[in-house]
Structure 1
Amino acid sequence: MRVVLAPDSFKGTVTATDAARALADGWRSVRPGDELIARPMADGGEGTIAAVAAALPG
């Protein structure tokens, strides 16, 4: 199964990238064969630049 993980940040606690990583870790613990695609999101405020950078590596 292919799964897209696209969380926003949890303001003041975790970045969108870290949230996507935590979701992926949890998912893999019960379904290790699934293909996970992490796409951290942002609503235009805090974390927007980090989300864009994650979407466009390099």
Structure 2
Amino acid sequence: MKIVIAPDSWKESLSALEVASAIEQGFREIYPDAEYVKLPVADGGEGTVEAMVAATGGLPGSADGHRAAGRAG
């Protein structure tokens, strides 16, 4: 059996990955032989970058942004 765990973060409490890990820990007590896939998600707010990095195996970074008129901002 494969179980996909795809939670959002719990605001000001746990990241999406921490929530997924807690859920997995509980499920493993009932289904120890299942295959678990943790897929943290976000709604665009707090924790979005962390969820994207975790889901893609990427690295966080930064870049300069520009306004629609082409000016830095």
Q: TM-score range by the shorter chain?
A: over 0.9
- Corresponding residue of 1:51: 51
- Offset of residue 19 of structure 1: 0.1
Q: What aligned pairs does 1:3-14 form with structure 2 within 5 A after superposition?
A: 3-14=3-14
Listed as ranges, the gaps of 5+ residues in structure 1 are none
Q: Bigger radius of gyration, 1 or 2? A: 2
- Structure 1 vs Structure 2: percent identity of aligned residues? 45
RMSD: 0.8
TM-score in terms of structure 1 length: 0.94
Is the counterpart of residue 42 in structure 1 residue 11 in structure 2? no
Residue 64 of structure 2 corresponds to which residue in structure 1? Answer: none
Q: What stretches of structure 2 of length at least 5 have no aligned partner? A: 59-73
How many equivalent pairs are there? 58
Look up the match of 2:28: 28
Q: State the structure with bigger RCO (CA 8 A, min sep 6), 1 or 2.
A: 1
Residues 4-57 of structure 1 deviation map (CA, whole Å, 9 limit, x = unaligned)? 000000101111000000000000011100111000010000000001100111
Query: What TM-score, normalized by structure 2, do the two folds share?
Result: 0.76
Q: Which has the higher helix share?
A: 1
Q: Which runs of 4+ in 1 moved over 2 A?
A: none
